Amino acid sequence: MESLGFALAGLVVGTAVGATGVGGGSLMTPILILFYGITPAIAVGTDLLYASISKAFAVALHGKNGSVDWKIVGWLSVGSVPAALATLAFIHYYGQSGDLDRLIKLTLSVAIVLTALGTIFRGKLVAFAKHERFAFLRTLHRRGQHTFTALSGAAIGALVTISSVGAGVIGMMLLLLLYPRHSAIKLVGSDLAHAVLITGIAGLGHASLGTVNYPMLGALLIGAVPGIYLGTRVGFRLPDAKLRPLIAGLLLFIGVGMLGKAIAAQF
């Protein structure tokens, strides 16, 4: 019966991801914590491997279509891989103090709120990045583009490793600012490819710490596959302008609620 509940969670999140493209971690991890009573560390560790496996199928399709810029993926990885490894070492040390779950809840809450805001203002962000008034920013980007990309990767790597959130919407926000002249589909493919890599590394690191529930992982994947297919079909029929605000509002509600609880727990 418990496996059926996890499969249902995979179905719900998979449908949302397929319909809107919103990162699964921003939905799956809080659902596991709030509705299933899973400890934050186990929820994050399991969701990281779930995200890596489920997104790998999408990357395979993008790779066949030539919509992955591997140079961008490489420069993101220059920052994200060392940051993820350093964060895993920190988690291993910090977890011994018993405060790991509180740290995860606080970081997760902030990451979800940022994801919600990124989902709401994505259109304005694209317009900002391409506006001629900010041409000087593009010049700055070209001069230090690789450096900024690596630094963005480092921020994503640390955030994803602690909270399982950030490789999707937040990563895409940064790429839109750094690469305004690239096509959206190439940025999406590159963001997904990097997400598979960094969630895989972080997930395996969590597995080595014993914070992955494998039966739950299997049940989530069983639900996710038909969910992504269903969500894609729904997304074709419903306007993006209505879907994204709906998901963003849900994320904002969850993120603010969790953030309030996390702050209150400190006192």
Tokens of 236: 């074709």
Rounded to whole angstroms, the Cα distance separating 77 from 81 reads 5
Say how many CA atoms lie within 13 Å of 213 toward its Cβ.
Answer: 18
At 128-178, the pLDDT tens digits run 666 555 555 555 556 678 888 999 999 999 999 999 887 777 888 888 888
| pLDDT: which is higher, 106 or 233 | 106
Backbone angles phi, psi at 146, to 5 degrees: -65, -40
Tokens of 151: 């630094």
The pLDDT value recorded for residue 140 is 55
Judge contact between 150 and 75, C-beta under 8 A: yes
CA 182 from chain centre, in angstroms, equals: 21
Tokens of 2: 């418990």
Q: Where are the domains of the chain?
A: 2-264
The pLDDT value recorded for residue 133 is 53
Tokens of 185: 């589909």
Torsion sign, CA atoms 21, 22, 28, 29: positive
Mean pLDDT of the chain: 81
Give the single-character DSSP code of 180. T
Give the predicted TM-score (pTM) of the model. 0.83
At 187-246, the pLDDT tens digits run 888 888 898 899 999 999 999 989 999 999 999 999 888 887 777 666 556 665 666 677
Say how many CA atoms lie within 13 Å of 73 toward its Cβ.
Answer: 18
Q: Which residues contact 73 (CB under 8 A, 6 or more apart)?
A: 190, 193, 194, 197
Torsion sign, CA atoms 62, 187, 119, 105: positive
Rounded to whole angstroms, the Cα distance separating 157 from 69 reads 19
Q: Which residues contact 220 (CB under 8 A, 6 or more apart)?
A: 6, 7, 9, 10, 28, 46, 47, 50
In the block, tokens 């940064």 appear at 174
Judge contact between 259 and 113, C-beta under 8 A: yes
| Amino acid sitting at position 26 | S
CA 71 from chain centre, in angstroms, equals: 20
Rounded to whole angstroms, the Cα distance separating 44 from 203 reads 8
User: What confidence tier does 103 reach under pLDDT thresholds 50, 70, 90?
Assistant: confident
Judge contact between 42 and 257, C-beta under 8 A: no
Cα angle 10, 196, 34; round to 5: 35
Judge contact between 224 and 10, C-beta under 8 A: yes
Tokens of 57: 């199928």
| Amino acid sitting at position 149 | T
